[in-house]
């Protein structure tokens, strides 16, 4: 019997070869995550929820197919999409200039079903730069020069695919949601994170920020991966605004993640 695989639109297709490539398995895991979180509902102060795995799905799949083809030595974990990053491009820490010029990914991004008037999704036409993404990809570019070299041993994924927006347009992070709302989110995201780790079999998993590190330690408690950490590049952190790249690189070297 033919095996099954996943189309870019997330539906199942029939293949003459088994769906056992690394990128196919990552896409299948992302499909499940997308479905798991799509029907969740959230209360005030959250008024709008963006799921770029829906409206930027084709671009997200391009990211996986280009850079998720092989097992990795290091997997970096972020928190959730920023309004000017992954929420615009579908790529983790997806600052537009970094995604187009360094990752060399582009494409059509549709509109979310319910768009916040103060946080429109302009896709690759977004004129705002996400500082966190610019800093993170800038560090990797400075050290590895090309994306191909970086992704030979590294991968970047977000823990939660959803961006939560308040009425003012302010971004609300998952850890600020009430417990009864975080429980189903964390269950779906933990399951996806476990799948990513099983697929990529990294030696190191690195939390970008305290939240991501905590989720990694919870998920990897019975696994063999080393858990590392690095300072989050958000400009909301005063510490990150003082030579973030220098601090982050030193952290990775001191932990033995980078030589």
Q: For position 8, what pLDDT does the model report?
A: 45
For domain 3-254, the question of CATH label 3.40.50.20 is answered with: no
pLDDT at 161 over 90: yes
Each domain of the chain, given as residue ranges in start order, spans 3-254
CA 199 to chain centre: 16
The answer, as to whether pTM is greater than 0.85, is yes
Q: Please tell me the distance from the alpha carbon of residue 14 to that of residue 33, in angstroms, as a whole number.
A: 21
Q: Cβ atoms within 10 A of the Cβ of 246, count?
A: 10
Task: Tell me the pLDDT tens digit for each residue of 178-206.
Answer: 999 999 999 999 999 999 999 999 999 99
* Confidence tier at 13 by pLDDT (50, 70, 90): very low
What is the Cα Rg of the chain in Å? Answer: 17
Pick the residue with more confidence: 18 or 203? 203
The rounded mean pLDDT for the chain is: 93
Pick the residue with more confidence: 18 or 163? 163
Contact 102, 137 (CB under 8 A): yes
* Confidence tier at 20 by pLDDT (50, 70, 90): low
Q: Cβ atoms within 10 A of the Cβ of 133, count?
A: 27
């Amino acid at each position: 019997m033919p095996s099954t695989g996943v189309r870019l639109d997330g539906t199942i297709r029939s293949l003459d070869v088994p769906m056992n490539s690394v990128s196919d398995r990552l896409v299948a895991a992302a499909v499940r995550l997308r479905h798991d979180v799509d029907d969740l509902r959230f209360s005030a102060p959250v008024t709008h929820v963006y799921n770029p795995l829906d409206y930027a799905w084709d671009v997200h799949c391009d990211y996986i197919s280009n850079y998720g083809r092989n097992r990795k030595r290091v997997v970096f974990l972020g928190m959730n999409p920023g309004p000017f990053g992954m929420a615009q491009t579908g790529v983790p820490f997806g600052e537009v200039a970094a995604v187009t010029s360094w990752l060399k990914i582009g494409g059509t991004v549709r509109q979310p079903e319910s768009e916040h008037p103060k946080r429109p999704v302009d896709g690759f036409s977004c004129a705002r730069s996400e500082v966190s993404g610019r800093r993170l990809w800038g560090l990797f570019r400075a050290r590895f020069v090309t994306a191909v070299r970086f992704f030979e041993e590294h991968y970047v994924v977000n823990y939660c695919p959803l961006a939560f927006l308040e009425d003012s347009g302010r971004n609300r992070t998952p850890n600020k949601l009430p417990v009864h709302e975080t429980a189903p989110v964390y269950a779906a995201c933990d399951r996806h994170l476990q799948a990513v780790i099983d697929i990529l079999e990294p030696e190191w998993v690195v939390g970008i920020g305290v939240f991501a590190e905590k989720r990694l330690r919870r998920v990897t408690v019975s696994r063999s991966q080393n858990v590392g950490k690095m300072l989050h590049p958000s400009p909301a952190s005063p510490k990150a605004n003082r030579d973030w790249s220098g601090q982050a690189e030193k952290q990775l070297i001191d932990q033995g993640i980078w030589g």
